[in-house]
Amino acid sequence: MPVLKGFEFLKTLQNPPKVIVTTAYQEFALEGYEHNISDYLLKPFGFERFLKAANKAISSVVQKTVSSEKNDVPNRIFVQSNKKHIQLETENILYIEATGNYTKIITTTETITIREKFSTFLEQLPKNDFVQVHKSFAVAPKQINSVEGNIIFISNYQIPIGKIYKMNIVKLLK
């Protein structure tokens, strides 16, 4: 680089990318690691060594992405009931129930009825957090206390398991 050296350029970046340094001079290796580089390749190097360095950089990015997705910020949704919008934390929902063109949302503290089809509301919820167990019921697996025959027990509630949806429960129990 004619005007600015590579490490000087890295110093100027607030959020530097993953960097793999390739050079014929091993004296720069220590300085490179001070700049949090992913790997240091001393020339000449083979394709296999380059692949190892690239995979190392990629895996650290993937690991960082996965850990940031698993943060403890609860999922929240807004629902409209009786001309007002109510914010719900999805982790507080025990189960949902279809009642015609309405949907009942049973939470740890209250029951909310919204004018929305069951299937439409179920699509808005996080996919892995709710399982449909009956044509009219979906439950939060983490809220299940026990399963006995074709009945799911959640708190003081009993939710039926439909024949078609029995496999969803079997998968949960494994």
Question: Whole domain around residue 92: which residue ranges?
Answer: 76-173
Domain shared by 53 and 86, yes or no = no
The CATH number for 124's domain is 2.40.50.1020
pLDDT for 143 equals 93
Domain shared by 58 and 140, yes or no = no
Residue 54 in any domain: the answer is: yes
Residue 131 and residue 170: Cα distance in Å, rounded?
12
Domain shared by 83 and 64, yes or no = no
pLDDT for 93 equals 94
Nearest residue to 130 via CA among 90, 101, 77, 162: 90
Q: Which two structure tokens, joined as six digits, stand for 43?
A: 């020339």
Domain shared by 159 and 81, yes or no = yes
Sequence-ordered list of residues with C-beta below 8 angstroms from that of 88, at least 6 positions apart, any chain: 76, 77, 78, 79, 105, 107, 112
What backbone phi and psi angles, to 5 degrees, belong to 33?
A: -70, -20
Domain shared by 31 and 90, yes or no = no
Domain shared by 83 and 41, yes or no = no
pLDDT tens for the chain, residues 1 to 174: 677 777 788 778 777 788 888 888 877 777 776 777 888 888 898 998 888 888 888 876 666 555 555 555 558 888 888 888 989 888 999 999 999 889 999 999 999 999 999 988 888 888 788 999 999 999 999 999 999 999 999 999 999 999 989 988 888 887
Residue 125 in any domain: the answer is: yes
Task: Tally the residues of the chain.
Answer: 174
Domain shared by 62 and 86, yes or no = no
The CATH number for 28's domain is 3.40.50.2300
pLDDT for 62 equals 64
Q: Is 159 buried (19+), middle (13-18) or exposed (0-12) by CB count in 10 A? A: buried
Domain shared by 59 and 37, yes or no = yes
Residue 25 in any domain: the answer is: yes
In one-letter notation, the amino acid at residue 23 is: T
DSSP letter, residue 163: G
CA distances (Å), origin 102, targets 99, 113, 116, 149? 5, 7, 5, 28
Domain shared by 12 and 53, yes or no = yes
Domain shared by 82 and 168, yes or no = yes
What backbone phi and psi angles, to 5 degrees, belong to 58?
A: -65, -45
Residue 1 in any domain: the answer is: no
Number of domains in the chain: 2
pLDDT for 1 equals 62
